Every structure is written in C-alpha cells, then in structure tokens.
A = this chain, B = another copy of it.
C-alpha cells in the first residue's frame, strides 16, 4: 500500500555563509527608500509530490534527495514539510 505525499522543501544558506544575493536585494531596497528592511536571506523553495510506503519512508527519501541534489550540505541547510494526501 503506497501513499501519496505533498512536500515543501526550504533550502537556506547556513547563517555563517555570506549571501551576496540577499545583500544586493537589501541595497536595492535601500535605494528604493525601504531602509527599514534588514537581514535579507534568499533561499530556494521546492514543491513536489511523491509516493511512498509511509511518511517516514518519504521523509528519509527526501533527506537523501536534498543531500544529493537539492542542497549543498556544506553551505546550506534544508527543512522538509510533508503532508499525506491519499492512499493510492
């Protein structure tokens, strides 16, 4: 029996890693007059659906996928949210 899951994955730079894109956005906003905005960090947001035997199987597969493809574990963290949809 397999289940269908919807997943959201948030990939963010580790706090110790410089974020030039975030700095560029912040300086762009300052030029536009928004000087009250700070600490901008830009990451990736991935939505996907998958089928798996169980929620823990889905989560462990997504962990592997993030480590191997979606995130660079040296400089990035990731967080996975998972919702069970329907039994297939």
Contact = CB atoms under 8 A, between A and B. Distances in A.
A50 B69 contact: no
Contacts of A42: 44-46
User: How many copies of this chain sit in the oligomeric assembly?
Assistant: 2
A74 interface: no
Interface string A28-43: 1100101011111111
- Kindly state the interface size class of chain A when it binds its partner: 20 to 34
A47 B44 CA distance: 11
Nearest to A10: B45
A25 B68 contact: no
Interface of A: 10-12, 22, 25, 28-29, 32, 34, 36-52, 61, 65, 68-70
